[in-house]
Structure formats: structure tokens, C-alpha cells
Structure 1
Amino acid sequence: MKLCWVAAYLLLWILLLTADGDSEVSCVFMERCILPCSFQTGKEIVIHWFKVPGDLHVHSFYYSKDQLGHQDQRFRNRTSLFKDQISRGNASLQLTGVQVQDQSRYKCHTSTIRGNQESFINLKVDAPVHEVSIDQVGNRITCSSEGIYPEPQLTWSTSPPSNITFTNTTTVQQPEQLLYSITSSLMVSAGVYDLLFICTISTRRNRRRATLRKLADISAPSTKVTIPCTPPNTTLTNFSLVWSFNHTQTIVKQTGTNVTYSVSDGWKQQVKEVSESGSLVLKDLSSKQEGGYTCELSNAEETHSTNTHLRIIKGGHSNAAAIVTAVLFGTVLVAALLYIYTKVLPSFAPRSPAQEQVGSCSRVTG
């Protein structure tokens, strides 16, 4: 019977240990993070934080003050305790400037005259996806992002669906920070317009997507042209707007919280306005403004890009205006020929003797 009680006690103790497993904390790269630890307060408080395995000294506190003589160099000037709460049993550690190398298991050891306590915390580091860039050069569309941890996943889709193949490469950005860069590209057949390409990059913490739509080329006069922007199915107040030229020159910037927009110095003579839908209205153009225009709308979760190539029609007339001018000219020309045929030519026609005699009689009678 006694052995049964001992076995039952041991089983209960194992179950309690299992239930009281490691805590888990998710920290954001380069931000501050708190590793929780509590203890039964008492006199002669001693607190030790270790990174395991290896028991690297992270932070120590005893004799009522920090004791950092044995602190590992990688944690120097990055750790602190909540001094005003230690007496109430709070031994939590604050870690600033979180690095990928900080990801590990940590041990919080506390001691008072009442006894010792230990708890373990698993720290996971996340560098979320902050920005996804999508761009088209020629027939190649490229999607990329950088500064991510852990290794991200990238997926392509199109709307409507299509059978386009793509290549995907993942590289480590900086060995000392262990952050990932990811790049993927696909080849698009020439003449493919109004197909929405969707690139999604995700990690265990978040996901962002970027879309790109290539519109048909625009041919317009130099006097005035409107370049459309195809916004998502939402209000533009949630998005920031950037218009750029040939992927190098910024034309216009507009934030989602501010309805006004700022125009770059080199484009103040050409920008007439930005419409409520985000379309760019230009004026007084020359051959220097002929090229690719990109409208980029972005918020905290997604980025939408629209590419359009503009051709300037020499002479300042569009195709439609040229057609109208030609029709009007043809109409006037036909009217003039009819007038000449019916009014002018008969007066030069030769007359018969009878017509001459009638004309003479008419003159005598008059």
C-alpha cells in the first residue's frame, strides 16, 4: 500500500512538471521584449537569468542591485529588471534591440530565504514582412522583399488564373543578422495586358501581398493626357499614393491621411492634377516625358502597382483629332467641288446660236 502511495505521488509530480512547461514569448526583431518570471518574495533576493544551453550569463541581481560583472558581452547594455516590482515578486527581464541570435531557451533562477525557484522561457524572434516590391522590366515581373525571419514563403497567382511559370530564389541577406531576402520572377508574353499579377510573401507572424497590372500603351497629344491608376476595391484614404516615371523619378506623393499631394520639382510644370481615383493628369509634355509611368498604392498589408507606357504624338494632336480634322477637310472639299460643278462651270460652257439669239432678244426687250 505504501508503495502505491509513493508511485501515485511521483506520477502526480511528473504531471505537474509537464503541465508547468516552458513559457513561450515571441519578440520582434530590433524591438524590446519582456521575458516573464515571478517568484515568492522574501528577504535576500537573488535573481539570475541564463541563456541555455551553455548557461550564458544574461543578467544578475543581488545585494539589492544589478551585478553585471559576469554578463555575456552580447547582452551588454541590453537588459534590465523592473526594480520597483522586484519586492513584489516580479523578476521579469526586459531585452532591447532583439537580435535573431537571441532566439533560445532562457532560465530564470530566483532565490530568497524561503528557497529557490526556476522557470524556463522559450524566446522566438520574428522579423515580419514590412514591404513587398513588385516591378516589371520588359517581359519580366519581379517580386522581392528583405529583412525577414524566419525564412518566408512566396506564392504567385493571377486574376483571372493563368498558366505562367516562375522562378524563385531565397538568399540570406546578412550572415551576422541571419535575415532573409526573397526574390521571385516570372516571364510574361508580349502583349499581355489587364492581367493582375499577385505576389504574396508570408511568415509565421504576418503576410503582405503586392499586385501589378500592366495597362495597354497610351498615345496622346502633348497638350494634355490622363494616365489611369487602377485602385483596389477600397477607398484611397487607407493608402499612400506614389507616381513614378521610368522607375527612377518620383512625380507625385500623397499619403492616405492627407488628401493633398506633393509634386517633385522637376514635374511641377507637367502635373495638372491627381484625380480622386488616383489618375495622373499631365500637360505641356515633350519627348522627355515619353516612357513608363507607375502608380503605386500601399498600406500596412498590401501594395498595388499599375504600369502604363505613354507615347507622345508629335504635333500635339491625338489620332481622334486627326481623324476629325481629315473628315472636316474632306467635307469642305466635296462641298467646294459641288459648288464649282453646279455654279461656276456652267457659265464657262459654249452657247448655241439659238441661245445667243434669245440672249439678244432679252437685251433688246430690256
Structure 2
Amino acid sequence: DEIDGNTFICSLYCIFVLGSQMEIYPLKWIKCVLRWYWPGAVQSPDTQVGCVFGGSCVLPCRFQPNGDTTLHWVKVNGKEVKVHRYSRDQDKDQDPLYEERTSLFHDQISGGNASLSLARVNLQDQGRYLCYTKNDQKTFVILTVRANVSSFTFSGAIYPRPQLTWSVHPRPATVLQNTTEVHEDDQGLYDISGSLRTVYSDTESTYSCSVQNEHSARKFTIRQHSKSLNPEGQQSEVKIDFQWWQLNGLVTLAND
């Protein structure tokens, strides 16, 4: 096989520089030799990627380009599933589960970018993926899926004039993006509505909306919880629990 300039320089560094310091850095020297003679023998740690349910995300992969570029993406949870294959400027066969949902960045492949774009993410997509090339360069990616509530509102007929506040546990509430509107109807009762866009990507946060006036106070909470699929492909679940207490009013929810 043809040897590119960067690989040749790395091999010289391995042989002469680390070789002369082998007693001081034995592990570095061994890894260097393995990478030079057996490129697939030393693997980097798995890359963790979190994707939002129903959205799109990118699974990163880079490789050292050579003359014949053949790229493979497979899912390796137990049974191997063909996700995407690229050869000679053409995308090839794949499992029906991934049809019309995967693509590569074709204009960047010649520069060593084999990252996979995955659209319309669902729970079945969770798991461990392998990106590899014809000369056995490998990258492993673990994909987990989360489902977040985007926004929600609280409204009702209340008297006296109420106030609305938001909080999130266990995170700081100072960065919450929220809006509140209070309207008085022709009977002198107040209607209050609020919306909040969740800003944290984790799935263990509890968002609380408190509505209160001088006579009473009520709280409305949304608790997000997502159990991710583990790398071995076991049980998966996405669950959102709703709890609310009305203040002479109506609770409505909206997902963006």
C-alpha cells in the first residue's frame, strides 16, 4: 500500500525518538509500533453522542484517506446491522430501518471525514455503531436518545391578581427562558399564562411553575425522565410524567 507523508513521519518518530526512550516510555513505544504495523490494533475510546428524539444528529468519524475510499457504518449491538456503505462516489445497500435517513458529507470525504448524518432519530437507533474503512481504520460511536418537553403553558381564571414563577431542580434557574402574560376579563378575574423553553439537555430535571396570590398558591410540575438504551442493546424507555394542581383554572401543554 502507498504510504502518505504524515504516516511516514510518524513512523520515523516512533522508531528513532520513542525508540531511544523506550525504557522511560515503554507504553508509548508499544502503542506507536502497533499503530504503525497494525492500524486496527489500538482503538480510541468510544465516542458518546446524544440525539433528540425525532431530530437529526451526526455520528463523527475520521479516517486517513488513501486511493480507494470504501466506508462502512454498521450497528454492532449483538447482530450486525448495515447502516450505510459508501464506495466509488456512490451510497450502497443498507438495512430497511435506515433507508432514506442516512447520508455522508460527500464534499468532505476526500479530506477524511466519514461522519454519518442520521435523520428522524427514534428509540431503535440507540446503541453502538462502528465506522470502518477498507484498510481497517475503526471508530466506535455510542448513540443515546432523549426526548425533552420543549414548552408548556399554565392558564386559568384567578382572583386576586396572581404571580407566576419558574424553577428547575437540580439546576440553576437563572438561565430559564420564560414568558408570562396576565389578562383581566370583563368580570374582573385574571387569566395568567406562561411558557418555558427547556434549556438543559439532561433528562433528569424537574421544571416547576408556581402560581400564587395573597390567598393561595399552587404548583404545576413537569418531570422529564429518559432511560437510555445501554450499549448491549437492552431495554429502552422514554417517559414524561405530568403532575399539576389547579388554581381555579386550566393547565394546557404544548410541545414544540
- The normalised TM-score by structure 1 is 0.39
Q: Which of 65, 73, 80 pairs up with 2:96?
A: 73
Aligned with 2:59 (options 29, 35, 38): 35
CA-to-partner distance for each residue in 1:309-356, whole Å, 9 max, x for gaps? 59xxxxxxxxxxxxxxxxxxxxxxxxxxxxxxxxxxxxxxxxxxxxxx
Structure with the larger RCO, 1 or 2 (CA within 8 Å, 6+ apart): 2
Task: Find the counterpart in structure 2 of residue 120 from structure 1.
Answer: 140
Residues 280-359 of structure 1 mapped to structure 2, 5 A cutoff: 280-283=183-186, 285=187, 294-301=191-198, 303-305=209-211
Alignment of 1:197-208 (within 5 A): none
Matches within 5 A, 1:59-70: 59-68=84-93
When residues 33 and 43 of structure 1 are mapped into structure 2, their CA distance, relative to the original with a 3 A threshold, is same
- Which protein is bigger by CA-based radius of gyration? 1
CA distance in structure 2 between the partners assigned to 1:18 and 1:107 by the alignment:
15
Residue 232 (str. 1) matches residue 165 (str. 2): yes
Deviation at 1:20, TM superposition (A): 1.8
Q: Deviations over 1:50-79 (max 9, x none)?
A: 0012220000011221112xx111101000
Task: Label 1:19 to 1:109 Cα distance change in 2 as closer, same or farther (>3 A).
Answer: closer
Does 2:75 match 1:51? yes
Q: 1:133 to 1:297 in 2, by over 3 A?
A: closer
1:319 aligned residue? none
1:24 correspondence with 2:48? yes
In the alignment, the residues of structure 1 paired with residue 30 and residue 165 of structure 2 have an alpha-carbon distance, to the nearest angstrom, of: 58
1:13 to partner: Cα distance: 3.9
- Given the alignment of the two structures, is residue 130 of structure 1 paired with residue 156 of structure 2, yes or no? no
Secondary structure of the residue aligned to 1:87 is helix
One-letter code aligned to 1:296: S
SS in 2 for 1:101: helix
The reply on whether 1:86 has 2:109 as its aligned counterpart is yes
Report the RMSD for the aligned CA atoms in angstroms. Answer: 3.9
Change (3 A) 1:229 1:239: farther
In the alignment, the residues of structure 1 paired with residue 149 and residue 29 of structure 2 have an alpha-carbon distance, to the nearest angstrom, of 45
Residues 1:230 and 1:85: Cα distance change in structure 2 (over 3 Å): same
1:294–1:305 contact (8 Å) kept in structure 2: no
Do the aligned partners of residues 33 and 123 (structure 1) sit closer, same or farther apart at CA in structure 2, a change above 3 Å counting?
same
- Looking at structure 1, the residues matched to 27 and 140 of structure 2 have their Cα atoms a distance apart, in angstroms, of 24
8 Å CA contact retained: 1:296, 1:305: no
Task: Give the 3-state SS of the residue equivalent to 1:85 in structure 2.
Answer: helix
| Closer, same or farther: CA 295–47 of 1 in aligned 2, 3 Å | same
Q: 1:12 to 1:55 in 2, by over 3 A?
A: same
Distance 1:229 1:35 in 2: 47
SS of aligned partner of 1:231: strand
2:152 touches 2:196 (CA, 8 Å); kept in 1? no
Partner SS state of residue 91, structure 1: coil
CA contact (8 A) 2:71 2:86 kept: yes
Deviation at 1:31, TM superposition (A): 1.0
Structure 2 Cα separation of the partners of residues 89 and 19 of structure 1: 17
Q: What does the per-residue CA deviation read over 1:7-63, in whole Å, with 9 as the maximum and x for residues that have no partner?
A: x67994499978721111111111111111111111111001000122200000112
Q: Which has the larger helix fraction?
A: 1
Q: Which residue of the partner structure matches residue 219 of structure 2?
A: none
- Matched residue pairs, number? 168
1:98–1:304 Cα change, 3 Å? same
